[in-house]
Amino acid sequence: MRKVFITGGAGFIGSHLAEKLLASGHRVWALDDLSTGSMENIEHLVDREDFDFRFGSALDEALVAEYVDRADVVVHLAAAVGVRLIVEKPVHTIETNLGATTAVLDAAARKQKVVVLASTSEVYGKSTKVPFQEDDDISLGATTRSRWAYACSKAMDEWLALAFYREKGVPVVVTRFFNTVGPRQTGRYGMVLPNFARQALLREPITVYGTGEQSRCFGHVKDAVEAVERLIHCPEAVGEVFNVGTDEEVTISELAARVRAAAGSDSEIVKIPYEEAYAEGFEDMPRRVPDVTKLERVTGFRPRTPLAQVIDDVIADQRARLEAGEV
């Protein structure tokens, strides 16, 4: 049994990870300021003796140090999330991501605690070398485009974590999540699949931003947390970066059509220019496909949940939310 501290523990991925670790017999502490997380995600866990939730910010250095000191492993998930939030609040994005990561790494360095840092496929920027490999060069957009603030801040998180590993011996593992989806994810911050599912169920227009020809790979959250748990127990992972996601690619237009069909909906699919959805000059990546060979080689695990199952699970979750009266 290990004692695990999860920042962002009431969030989408964090709550699923807490469940997974508890089921494996670990002790879990979760920290969340509920800015994007929700108590609903962990209500079924709060009465357990092996789980504790603390309301607070990962920017609170004293609070973070207290829980890092108790834990064997820290999984740092707390971050600004969602394209809309990132575009609209770049200051919050940069300060949250860099500040919280610094607090976690500083605390972990005092007693050499294992840190699993959640990063993102966004760090690959505008790279056209597909599939993306962990040691590929990155190409970010101009600093005048706030859309790239998140990618840059998460790349700095990675550099900082790896610097702590090389200079101070902190055992860190970096995970780059690719479009992770599933139950409990909301569309509030621009998450495309839950938005499509909700629009289809309500028979509202399904809004596709841009041309719809941009493609993504949507991995199930259950695969993501399986990968994280395996990396926690893998000494060979220390000091390394891992893509976490599926390599089943789909265009956003095709995704909208598949969601509509799976939901039994007659919603119209409408394309909206990026300039109307976000801001003038918004840039997006045409393709985002991970190479997960390294993850499979080191952990023996490769995310394989098919997109059809991912879509069905998200639709079922959104249907349950609507039936419960969630807006």
Question: Does 49 reside within a domain?
Answer: yes
Enumerate the active-site residues: 150
Cβ neighbour number for residue 269 with a 10 Å cutoff: 17
Supply the pLDDT for residue 325.
84
Residues in the chain, overall count: 327
Supply the pLDDT for residue 84.
63
Query: What is the pLDDT tens value at each position of the chain, 327 positions in all?
Result: 899 999 999 999 999 999 999 999 999 999 999 988 999 999 999 999 999 999 999 999 999 999 999 999 999 999 877 666 666 777 877 888 899 999 999 999 999 999 999 999 999 999 989 999 999 999 988 888 877 888 899 999 999 999 999 999 999 999 999 999 999 997 665 589 999 999 999 999 999 988 999 999 999 999 999 999 999 999 999 999 999 999 999 999 999 999 999 999 999 999 998 666 565 556 778 899 999 999 999 999 999 999 999 999 999 999 999 998 876
Supply the pLDDT for residue 188.
66
Question: Does 88 reside within a domain?
Answer: yes
Question: Does 242 reside within a domain?
Answer: yes
Supply the pLDDT for residue 85.
65
User: Which residues are bridge partners to 241 per DSSP?
Assistant: 174
pTM of the model as a whole: 0.93
Question: Does 280 reside within a domain?
Answer: no
Question: Does 206 reside within a domain?
Answer: no
Question: Does 156 reside within a domain?
Answer: yes
d(CA 322, CA 168): 49
Supply the pLDDT for residue 326.
76
Q: Which residues of 297-310 are buried (b: 16+ CB within 10 A; e: fewer)?
A: ebbebebebebeeb
Question: Does 201 reside within a domain?
Answer: no
Supply the pLDDT for residue 96.
85
The CATH number assigned to the domain holding 161 equals 3.40.50.720
Question: Does 232 reside within a domain?
Answer: yes
Of the candidates 211, 169, 162, 173, the residue with the CA atom closest to the CA atom of residue 76: 173
What is the residue range of 7's domain?
A: 3-181+219-247+287-305
Supply the pLDDT for residue 276.
66
**What's the structural domain count of the chain?**
1
What is the chain's percent helix, strand, coil content, to nearest 5? 45, 20, 35
Supply the pLDDT for residue 144.
83
d(CA 256, CA 297): 33
Supply the pLDDT for residue 260.
98
